[in-house]
Structure formats: C-alpha cells, structure tokens
Structure 1
Amino acid sequence: MKASSSFKNAVSAVALSAGLAMTGTIAVELAAMEVAHAATVSRIEVRGNRRVDAETIRNYISIRPGRSFSQDDVNDAVKRLFATGLFADVSINQSGGTLIVTVEEYSIVNQVIFQGNKKIKDANLARAVQLQPRKSFSNQALQADEETIREAYRRIGRDDATVSSRTQELEDGRVNVIFEVQEGGRTKIAAVNFVGNNAFRDGRLKDVISTKQSNFLSFLLRNDIYDDNRLRADEETLRRFYYNRGYADFRVISATADLDETENAYTLTFTVEEGERYRFGNIDVESTISGIDPETLRSQIETRQGSVYSAKNVEDSIIALTEHVAGMGYAFAQVTPRGNRNFETREIDVVYSIDEGPRAYIQRIEIRGNQRTRDYVIRREFDLSEGDAFNQVLVQRAKRRLEALNFFQTVNISTVPGSQPDQVVLVVDVVEKSTGEFSIGAGYSTSGGVDSSGGFSVEGSVTERNFLGRGQYVRVAAGGGKNSRDYSFSFTEPYFLGRRISAGFDVYRRTRKFDDKYERDTTGATVRFGLPITEALSTQLAYNLSQEEYTGIGNCANLNDGNPANDANCNLAPALVEAIGQEKWIKSSVSGSLIYNTIDDMKNPHSGLYANLTLEVAGLGGDAKFIKATARSTYYHTLSEELDLVGLFTVGAGHIQALDGDLRVFDHFSSSDRIIRGFDYNGIGPYQNSTGGGIDHIGGKTYFNASAEAQFPFPILPESFGLRGAVFADAATLYGSDVAGAIGTDLQWRASVGAGLIWASPFGPLRVDYAYPVLKEETDDVEHFNFGISTRF
C-alpha cells in the first residue's frame, strides 16, 4: 500500500486518534487536491472485500457522492471502518472523480483446536479464549488468548505450563487456530513461613490460612495452589484471626511468594507485626438522634468490659444496634464505633455513636463473575434490595453470608454512584470455586456384641453444595461392610418459597446383620424444615416415616415357629426372641430440634458452643407410640494459643417414654462410642439372660454421658498433614427398661480413659481411639479400639 508524502503526518494522527495497534499502514491519498480544500467525488468504489458487502462498507462512512468532504471526513471514515472489527487494514484514495476504499478483511475463525491439554478440558479452554468459530481473527486476540490459557494453568497450580499458537490457512479466508500446550509439572508450595509471630506458633497460623504447604496428599486436596487473589485473601484472614483475639494493632507488613524455577515450587512468607493484646474497657452508647435513648440499647451490645477484645463482637454489636434502631423507624441511622486505647492497662474503651447518616438509596445491585451460580442465589443473601435505604453494616453482613456459602473463592462488594446524587449501585464481584465433593470413609469395629455389625465398613458419597447453580444441596451415599449395607439420598433447598427457610428430604435403606443371628432391614424417609431464629440459634421440624423388619438367620432362622428347642438353639435373650420375626414395624413420628451454634470453624473448631435439643413424638399412625427427648452439647475452648491446645467438654442425655403400653425392646437407647468409648456397641446397661446361657444387653430408657478431651498437633509430622492427637476421659450411665425380666436397670456409672488420633483426610475427618474402662460392671462388653468417621456434632 502507498500514501502521498504530504499526508504522512495526517495518517499518523488518524492512527493515533483511532487508538488502534495494527501491522498494516493506513494510507489516505487525495490526488490533485490540497489538504485545506474540500473535494467531491462522483462515486465510491470498494475493493478487497470478500465477505462484507460493498454497500455495507459505503454505509459505514459518511462521505457521499456529489457532496463535498474534507480530511476530517476521511479520518472519520477510517475510524468507523476499523471500529467494526472486520478489517485488518483500510486505505482510502481518490482517483479523479472516484473515491477508492480498499479494505483487507480479517480472516474468519473456522475452528479453535487445543493440543496437549489433559488437565483442563477443551470445553473449559474454549469458553475462556476470545477467538471463537465464525468470529474474526486477529493477532492481538491470538496473543491475548495465549496468556489466558497460561493463566488458566496457573490457577490449577501449573505455573511452568507453556502455550504456543499457530494458524492453518483455509480457503475462502478462513483459518484454523491451533493452541499447543505443554502442561509441565504441578507447581508446589515448598514452604509457608511466618516472620514476627510470637503469640501464635507457625502451625496454628498455617491452619488459619487457605493456602497449604504441599504434601503427598495435595493432589487430592488441591489446597497447595498459589494464587495471588488467594494470597490477598489469606492476608485478610490473618487480620481477622488476630483482631478477634485481642490484637487490635496487628498488621501484615508483607506477604510474598518466591518461585524457585528449578524446583517449580513457591515459598510463601508472611511478615507480621502482632502488637499488644487488649481487653475491652468501658463500653458506652451515645446518640445524637432525638427520640433514641442510649440506655435502652445497652442490651443489644455484644461487647463486655473485661473480655478479650474481638472485632467480631464489635461488628455484631453494630449490626444489632443498627437493626434495632431501624426497627424503631430510623432507617438512615448510622452506628459508628470509636475506640480509645489505654496503652498502660492494655484496654480499649468503645463508644457506639448513633447518628443520622446520609440519605442514600440503592438504585440496583449488580452481580459480576458468577458463571454458574444464579443471580438470585446471591441476591437473597442481602437484607437489602433495590430502592431500600443504603446501609453499609447490612452490606458487610451480606458479604459474610456469601463467604459462608462456600461457593466462592473471593467475594468483594463495592459501591459506585447512581444516576442521582442520593443513589448508589452495589457491585458484587465473586470468583467461583468447585462445589462438588467426592468422599470415602472407612470404619472398623472389633465388636462381637449382639447389636453390632462388626468388622470393616466403607462409605462413599457424592455431594454437590450448589446444584445447578441454584444453591441447593444434594448428596448420594452408599456404603457397607461384611454385615451392613447403606444407601441414602438427601436434598435440601436452603430458601424454601423464597424465604430463609430450609426444606429438604432424606430417603434411606439400611441393612444390618447381628452376630449372624438376625437381620434388620430399615427403609425410611424424612421431610424436614429449618428456620433460623438468630444468627446462632435455629430450629428444625421434621416428619419421619420408617419401616423395620427383623428376620432370624443361621441358627435363629426358625425362631418363633412353636418349637422351644429352636429358640434355645438361637441363644438370644427372650425379649429379642419375641421381637424377631414379628410383622413389619412402622414408625410415624414428628420431631423438633433447637440448635445453638457459635463454633468458630466447623472443620477445625477451637472455640464456641454447639448444642442440640431434640424432641420426637411417635404415634401419628404406625405401630410405635412414644415420646423421646435427647440433648447434646459440646463446648470448645483454646487452652493454649502457643501450643494450639484445644479443650472440649461434652454432655448429653436422653429419655424415652411409652405413650401406650410398654416400649418395644428395639426402641430403647443403646450405648455407642458417642456416649462412652471403651465399651462395645450396646455393651452396657440393662440385660437379660439368653436362652443358651450368657447375657444379651437390651438397651435402656434413660442415659447420661459426659466427656472431657484435649486435642493437640501431632508431633514430628508437618501440620499440613492434618493429624492431631487427643486424650480423653468418658463417663456414662444407661438404665431403666420396659422389658419384663430385665436385669441391671438401676443407675450405674461407667468410666473410661484413652487416647486418639484425628486426621483431617481428603476423604473426610477420620479418627481412631483406644479406650480403657476404669469403671465397669462384670456384665459389660468391652471394646478398646474404635476406628471410623469422626462425628463431632
């Protein structure tokens, strides 16, 4: 292409004003014409176009035959044509009375091909790149897509992945785009270091952050992937951790990630300054709004004088005060905490000041970054909607709720001005993460008691916490062992009918064999509803329907056939002999639970209380008619922050009472490792002499139990392995019975001591315990070892 020398500067100006980077040259040549003079042409000729119609190109420019035009019109025509994104080069020349527009069209992408990729599927890469079939091709987009693919591999921990590209020319101006990927090895986290920490050891802080040091299980956990956004999130997590434990002056001085290219591994280093630890001093409330009496608001405050300073308690107090005064009709009231540090006493006085805030309304809530999660799943976590008064406190609470969903890697909420001075736009930026889980659990029991399946058992499950992006919970599980089979399906809708009420159902079938003497088949379903009362307190209502069938097997196959010799040969307690072989037993019941939960981290608890009180009434049809109450409470407290020593204390109780006649033997409570360790399943409490000698425990109507435990990091092994040790002491009693001829129905306490190992494995929390009874009865069945899935709550 060529351009007249008198227009070279003008051409450069056009290219710059268009803001375009291109390899070709823009030539504008108006022959036989001075720059300053206008010109006219009789026709406009288009050359070089193959797919774009000539008339379409003429319509893009403002120059018309017979009308005068200037250099500005030519510049504008060039801009318009380039702005279409259809052309790689444009040239406008005048030849006599003809204006010649010469274009070079971009090639059209025929196919985008990925080669060498195994860790990321073609479909995922295709969604990420700009170049798409039937779209225009450009070298700029090609280079940008190379970087996009590299970034995709960095996000899965493969920083040394290389990407190259090439094109394959086809006929009719089409081109195949080929990306060749060399995935390389996984980029690991060689070490996570902390500098400047004295109050908390490195291992405790490593538990707090989400980025973990690589170990031999990292390929399953996928928590050793370096990401700059995750590093920034870990900084914020550390701040919250320290702020909630009294360190109000804490700051992260730096957080660095150094890549050793020879080892393909990062070393993360967090340099921190902890400062002093504070407690709350004087707590006060003041108001500049007439009609609000500060003294009446003190009951809403969560901070207490003398308690360790906690930013969370301050935030909770702000939320409680804000909601309370809003309920009084002050929608724009603004609660601001003022802290005054006393460096000598290491106390922080806090004054909650209530003022009339600026009158601003929410124009709209804009959500970005959610490719899978539906908008309404995010919007419903806000107690605000379009048109409501803007309240920063409620915005921050929505942010915490979104983070608690565990659907997103990061959640950021910002504001931009609206169309009016008193309006703002909330912008919610989220980065999604995988919400599907596959887990495998295992257990082992050495039990030989009549009510235990014994031996190894395994369980596998598939869970989706954000089903179809609707925020719904779905779980399918199956498991079994030598003497057991389990199948279950669960579904939960967290916002039933658009309200903060969870609704769901469970369907299950369980089969158990007991000492090769009898078998129990249970098929059941539960429909449940959950309702939050406060942030910590919730309730759950459920309807339960189940059918049980007991069948004698082996030597007990002919129970209750009228031949006493067959009953004696089975060697079971008379109550069990009578119950086995009866018609199918149907239980129809309703239950209600109150749940109180202030646990700081359900996966790795260090503080808080979890309590559950359940009342079940059976008798709405079916055969069972009873009322049953159970309660269990576990309190966690960090005994030593430096040693990461955590203490927990558990108490529990239960009672069942028949509403009509006597309880069936199988409706009684049976002891288990959740009540007391060191004893066999159903190994304590009331019993009967069996038909062939010996005894069989038959359960009890009432139980009480208590347990004290200390948990600590397991020495030698790295903290990232997730192994902790425990020592414990248990005590329990199980007594009372409606079974005629029951023995040992009086209240008698048992106790045991032991040690255990807890592993936060990729397959779920696993635990093995060894317990030794220190207080027992001669008729009790002992079981020292127990291995299975850890169930804390």
Structure 2
Amino acid sequence: MPQVAQAQQYSFSSVKVVGNERIEPATILTYARIARNQPVSSADLNAAYQRISGSGLFENVSLTPQGRTLLIQVQEYPTISVINFEGNKRIKDEQLATMVKSKSNRVYKPSEVEADAQRIVQAYAQDGRMAARVTPKVIRRADNRVDVAFEVKEGKITSVERVTFTGNRAYSDRRLRQVLETKQAGIFRTFVKNDTFNANRVPVDQQKLLDFYRARGYKNAQVTGVSSQMTRERDAFYMTFNVIEGQKYHFNAVNTVSEIPGLDVAQYDKLTKIGAGQTYSPRAIELAVTRMEQQAIRDGQQFVRVDPRITEDPRTQAVNVTFALVRGPRVFVQRIDIEGNTSTLDRVVRREFRTVEGDAYNPREIKNAADRIRATGYFKNVDVSTKQGSSPDQVVVDVNVEEQPTGSLGFGASYSASDGIGLNASLQENNFLGRGQFLGLSLGTTSDNNSSSLRFVEPRFLGRNVKFSFGAYYTTSSDASNTYYDTKRMSISPAFEFPVSERGRLEVRYKVGQDELKNVNTTDSSQILIDEEKNLGKQVYSGLGYTYTFDTSIDQIDPRYNMKFSVSQDFWGLGGDITGGITSAKIQGERKIMNEEVTLRASLEGGAVHASGGTTILQRYSGSQVRGFESYGIGPRDLGAKNKDALGGNYYWVGKVEAQFPIGLPEEYGITGGVFWDVGSVWGLDNTAGTDPVDDSMHVRSAVGVSIFWNSGIGPLRLNFSRAIKKEDYDNTQNFDLTLSTQF
C-alpha cells in the first residue's frame, strides 16, 4: 500500500523509480499517471498504486512521498528459467508444454501459472481423470530467476458407473443407452474410452436423445436436464437424463402453396412424398424442402425458398404441413473460407458444397453441406457459419474444421470347422494424402487358403458425384475342405459408380482375371478331371458388368425400417478364353420391433452362371451362403468318386431369417443373443458326361441356429451354433463357427 502522510494534498516536482531492472522507468510512470507540480490527493496515489500493481509486471510495489519527490519502489517478477512436469505418465511432457502459457525466459506471473495448472487439470478431465490434481511449485534461483515445476497427481480414470433416465415410458433405459455416445463402464473399461466421464459429451448426448425421439414421431420431446453425481471416492459418476417424451404425432394434411407468381405448384407438391398417417419425422420435412428447392434451381428460379408451416392438433396427435414457396432475399455467396485443415486439401471440403462463389445463398444448403462434411469422418469437429461480405447482399461462409486420424491397422481372426483358424490383417487410410481418397490393403490366411487384396476409391472423380474405384485380388488354395485340388485366382477391376435416383446407384465396371485349376488327384471325380482338361491349366476371362443398388438408408426417414435391393450382371467375352456371364440378385430388409429392443432381418438372394462350353468348378457356386453347412458342403456331387467330390453348381438361392435381442445381461457387456433359419439350394451342371453318377438336382437344405453377438473390447464377435434340419446324406454340415475382427 502507498505510505501516505497526514497531509491530504501533495505536489511533486520529481518522481524517482527504483528497483526496476528490465522495465523502463518511463513505462512505470505511464502506469502511475502522476503529473509534476500538480495537486495529488491520497486517492490519486492509491489509484496509481493499483495501476502499477495491476500491470502484472511486479511482485511488490510501494509509493512513498518524500517532500517534493515521489519515490516509487518496485520489485519485478522473476524470469522463468525452466518449466518441468513431474508425476505425469498418461500425458507426455511435450503435450503438456503446448497447453501452458508460461514459457522459459518469460516473466513469471503467479496468476498465469495457476491458470496453467487448471489447464492441465482440464486436459486430464477430458481424458476421464476427474480426480487429477496439479500443484505448481516455484523454486527461487539467483539473478531474480525461478524454476517452475508442475507436480501432477493423475488419479484413476473416472468412469460412468451408471446411466439412467427419468420420464421415459415408450423406450426402456436399455434402448436409450444405445443412443448415447457415453457408455456405462463394462468389463473392458480399460480399453473403452466412451465409458469415461466427459462433460463436453453431455450436450452431444442430449441432442442425440432429442433426435432419437423426434425421428420417431415425438415432436415435442425434451431433455430438461442431466444430473451427474460423483461418487465419494471420486472415481465414477452416476448420470441421469431427465426426459419428457410428449405425444407421438403423425402427418395428416400435407399441401403446397406458392407466393411466387408463375410457379407450377403441382410439380412441387408431388415432391413432398409424405403420406397421411405416416409417422411424423423432421427428416421427411427436410428432404421434401431440399427436393423442392433443387427443383426450383433446375427450373431457373433463383432465391426460391420453401417455408414449411407446421400446425399440430394435440387432441388427434396430428401434424399438418403447408410447404410455402416464397421469394427469399437476393443474397449471394461471396466466398467460402476454409480453416483448420492441415493435411486435408481445401478441395476435399469444398466439394461437399453444392454452392460455389457467386451462387444464390441458401441457408439450408449450407447446413446440408456442413452435415456432408461431418459425414466424411475426416474431422473431429466441423463448424460452418456465415457473416456479411463486402456488401449487404453478399455473405462469406466460414468453415472451421478440426482433423482427426483417418487411418487404421486392423487384425482379425475367424474359426470354422472346415477351414480351422484363420488370421487376417488390413491397413486402410480413408483420407489418403489428404485427398479424400480411400486406400486399403488386406491379407488373410487359413490352413488351406491365402488371399490378398488392394482397393482404391476416389469418391468424387473429376470433382463430380461419380465414384471411381480400382480393386485387385489374388487367392490360392490347396486341398481345401471338401475339395482335393489346388487353385490360383487373380483379377483386377476398375469401376465407376454414380447416382441414378435419390436411393439408387449404378456401378459399371470392367473386370479381367485368370483362374487356374491344378494338381487334381487322378482318383478324384471324373467330372473334375473334365474341368481340369477344359481349363487347360489356366482360363482368362474379360468383360463388362454392372450392379444396381437401391438402399433406403441413403435418405432414411424412419430409422426402424431399412431395405436394400441389388442386382448384378457380368458379361464375359471381351477377349479371354470364356464367353458367357453371371447374374445375381439380393433383397434384404431390417425392422426393429418391441420398442426397438428386437431387430428382425430377412433376405432372399440367388444367382446363375453360364459359360460357353460349360462352366468349371471355379466359376460355380460353393454353397457357402447357407449357414450350418461347410463351403462346398452342399450342391452337385460326384457320388461315384472315391472322395464323393463336391462339384459346385450353376444356380443357387438362399433365404435367411434372423432375430437379435437382449438376453438379460447388463448392456455394458455388449452381449446380445439371436436365432436364425437358413434355407436354400445349390444345383445344376452343364453336363454330367463323366463316368461316375452325379447328383445335380435342386435339393433344398435348411438349418437353424442360435447366435451370440458380443461387442467386446477387442472388436465385434459373433458365435453361431447351428443344426441342419434338412440335408442330403452326402452333405457336410458345420455346427459352430466364430468370426472376430478388431481395429487398433
């Protein structure tokens, strides 16, 4: 405090500054603001003291009047020599050094050091260690220098012990927990990061709950609060989400009006695709608005906006929607600025915009672009905002992204009675060289088979909504289950894929490959010997093909339902040794029932292959699609051969039905159960000219089984226990198989 004499008024002809080493006297006088030969009160001296002390440059300050001279004594804060971190193991020194603002050879500031300690505590809290404590210690050295040491006590991971809900009636706690990013601590809590408490994840979980309910018709659902209570030991949290579900609504009257002269309302009205009685969904409204605004652009109508005007009737739980076509403000996109991408090229982000500089500004399209950028998976955070440009009719779109790792190294294992234990490894990069391209390499081996593959995908070929892919694979087998010969197969296939409708995509491809059948035992089937002779050691095929896919998940409105259909054809004969082709089709559906506790799945698929001069076993179907039977365990068979060799078939069909459901275990274990039923057949040969009798009839096979699904800490695992209930005497069944895959 300033030392004030009894007199209340002063006048100083000079001001003397002592004790300063680095700070210039003029700088200190600037803070003091004491004018020479002017009246100065005690309050003025106190204000001068507060300004000098508040500068943060001095450890001690005193102001002492000495007659006509004011003496200002200061003691500067020392300079930091070294900053050390002690006790930290989970977060390395290099990472902590980037968090703290105190630096070597800078002035030591106690407030800044305390703030640095809190930053380190916050970093540990985000890593799930809420009990972490950081104590800064200052060690005085000569020449007014200090060393700063941050003593860290990391503590244990603070997990989420339990997540509960209040107010939920339509959906159980078990189902709602599946929606959240936050997970309860399970038996693999050491490996699973989502079961650690993270306060930043709470608002994300709240929004996920709201989206979940509203997508299922609960238009006015609310999450009124989240209670997070820490245990006495400070090693776990109990979280409770307070939910108000409200009523479930459905669409009633849906119509379209225009406030723009000259627009044909009829062609826009048919784009709503919302029927009366359909469960209310914000997604359905959003898709309808997008279709209409895109149609307006195709019609050459600029600045057309679709305003969905929603009214609800709580008595009937009905929602009426009027899509109003209105003229929006004449605003243009001046430019799109992209920041935060260090490795990802700007064009990878920019290509997700349907809007370019100079186009009419459409807020909804900018929002959709932000969603598409998030969907790429390249970024941890994506923030898209707008601000006024150089004039009121111009806007600048700011895109700020935070990148995240996009590469993965995967290891997997499988087991089946026929192939034994199999191992595989994969390396993939989803954002190759920051260009938004996919590059993947996989290797696999079992006791009888080896395989390798390479795949490259450019999702926006030449900047257009066209996907280019290139695939190559190489496989070998030797005396595999139910076969007694060696094979070698290889192929390469470039392809282009593009949309043909909202939910439909078409892939066109060229494929060239070589099949080799060799080392056939002379005691084997005469039919296989014929195949080997026909094969002449190697067969080269070359041709064009296509695949059409219809997938409702592309613009899924009701998340309880999903359906996918695909049909594929390949035509051989563009060079090579084979002419003919192969056709296959598959339809599959999924539905969640019993408040989405149970998932039902069903599929039906089939195919046919034809080649000039007849097919060989390498081109035919093996029957591996039917669970409960080994590969080449069903289908045409040479009954007269010593080994009753499987021959494969030119035709197949398979129907599958399965259900997945909880089995009463705590959901944090990630274990659910299932039952399945498969039925199908493989049949048909071009000829049976061998010396042995061959059965190539369409005998129907069937198997039932139970499954255990486990989302374990080392990857998703499925165990199938099956039993064949309809089979032929010569079929080879398989009662158990296991698949496991994981990524690091």
Give the TM-score, by structure 1 length. Answer: 0.80
Shift of 1:91: 11
Shift of 1:626: 3.7
Shift of 1:463: 4.0
Partner of 1:615: 569
Structure 2 CA distance for partners of 1:184 and 1:461, relative to 1, 3 Å: farther
Structure 2 CA distance for partners of 1:551 and 1:102, relative to 1, 3 Å: farther
* Equivalences for residues 259-338 of structure 1 within 5 A: 259-262=230-233, 264-338=235-309
- Secondary structure, aligned partner of 1:307: coil
Partner of 1:712: 661
2:479 to 514, 528, 531: 514
The letter for the 1-side match of 2:732 is D
Corresponding position: 1:574 with 2:529: yes
Shift of 1:458: 2.6
Conserved? CA contact 1:708–1:730, under 8 Å = yes
Partner of 2:610: 657
Corresponding position: 1:641 with 2:606: no
Q: Deviations over 1:688-709 (max 9, x none)?
A: 2464x24212112222222122
* Equivalences for residues 587-626 of structure 1 within 5 A: 587-599=541-553, 606-626=560-580
Partner of 2:670: 722
The letter for the 2-side match of 1:113 is N
Structure 2 CA distance for partners of 1:718 and 1:542, relative to 1, 3 Å: farther
2:443 to 475, 478, 495: 478
Distance across 2 between alignment mates of 1:223 and 1:783? 37
Partner of 2:377: 406
* Equivalences for residues 5-24 of structure 1 within 5 A: none
Give the TM-score, by structure 2 length. Answer: 0.85
Distance across 1 between alignment mates of 2:139 and 2:538? 72
Partner of 1:495: 460
Distance across 2 between alignment mates of 1:83 and 1:495? 57
2:200 to 229, 237, 242: 229
Shift of 1:128: 3.0
- Secondary structure, aligned partner of 1:695: coil
Partner of 2:652: 703
- Secondary structure, aligned partner of 1:671: coil
Q: Deviations over 1:273-323 (max 9, x none)?
A: 111212211110011011212111122113211211111111111111111
* Equivalences for residues 123-522 of structure 1 within 5 A: 123-132=94-103, 137-167=108-138, 176-262=147-233, 264-366=235-337, 375-428=346-399, 430=401, 433-447=404-418, 454-467=419-432, 469-515=434-480, 517-522=484-489
Conserved? CA contact 2:19–2:76, under 8 Å = no
Stretch deviating more after TM superposition (469-478 or 237-246): 469-478
Structure 2 CA distance for partners of 1:219 and 1:46, relative to 1, 3 Å: same
Shift of 1:530: 3.6
Distance across 2 between alignment mates of 1:123 and 1:690? 73
Partner of 1:686: 636
Stretch deviating more after TM superposition (290-299 or 219-228): 219-228
Structure 2 CA distance for partners of 1:328 and 1:281, relative to 1, 3 Å: same
| Alignment length (residue pairs) | 729
The letter for the 1-side match of 2:126 is R
Distance across 1 between alignment mates of 2:735 and 2:69? 100
- Secondary structure, aligned partner of 1:232: helix
- Secondary structure, aligned partner of 2:112: helix
Conserved? CA contact 2:424–2:443, under 8 Å = yes
The letter for the 1-side match of 2:582 is K
* Equivalences for residues 525-540 of structure 1 within 5 A: 525-534=492-501, 536-540=503-507
Distance across 1 between alignment mates of 2:657 and 2:555? 20
Stretch deviating more after TM superposition (512-521 or 719-728): 512-521
1:668 to 620, 626, 635: 620
The letter for the 2-side match of 1:745 is D
- Secondary structure, aligned partner of 1:219: coil
Shift of 1:584: 4.5
**Identity over the aligned pairs, expressed in percent?**
31
Structure 2 CA distance for partners of 1:4 and 1:297, relative to 1, 3 Å: same
Conserved? CA contact 1:302–1:314, under 8 Å = no
Conserved? CA contact 1:705–1:731, under 8 Å = yes
Conserved? CA contact 1:605–1:636, under 8 Å = no
The letter for the 2-side match of 1:666 is L
Q: Deviations over 1:606-626 (max 9, x none)?
A: 521223333333444444544
Conserved? CA contact 2:304–2:326, under 8 Å = yes
Shift of 1:148: 1.8
- Secondary structure, aligned partner of 2:101: coil
Distance across 1 between alignment mates of 2:310 and 2:635? 57
Conserved? CA contact 1:600–1:606, under 8 Å = no
Structure 2 CA distance for partners of 1:532 and 1:722, relative to 1, 3 Å: farther
Partner of 2:738: 787
RMSD: 4.3
Distance across 2 between alignment mates of 1:263 and 1:126? 27
2:707 to 756, 761, 767: 756
Q: Deviations over 1:464-508 (max 9, x none)?
A: 434555544344433333333344444434334434433444454
Structure 2 CA distance for partners of 1:549 and 1:331, relative to 1, 3 Å: same
- Secondary structure, aligned partner of 1:220: coil
Distance across 2 between alignment mates of 1:69 and 1:364? 57
Conserved? CA contact 1:687–1:695, under 8 Å = yes
Structure 2 CA distance for partners of 1:776 and 1:506, relative to 1, 3 Å: same
Distance across 1 between alignment mates of 2:7 and 2:355? 59
Shift of 1:204: 1.1
Shift of 1:355: 0.8
Structure 2 CA distance for partners of 1:308 and 1:496, relative to 1, 3 Å: same
Distance across 1 between alignment mates of 2:121 and 2:514? 56
Distance across 2 between alignment mates of 1:508 and 1:253? 54
* Structure 2 residue runs without a partner (length 5+): none
Structure 2 CA distance for partners of 1:568 and 1:351, relative to 1, 3 Å: same
Structure 2 CA distance for partners of 1:409 and 1:201, relative to 1, 3 Å: farther
Distance across 2 between alignment mates of 1:382 and 1:3? 67
Distance across 2 between alignment mates of 1:320 and 1:199? 32
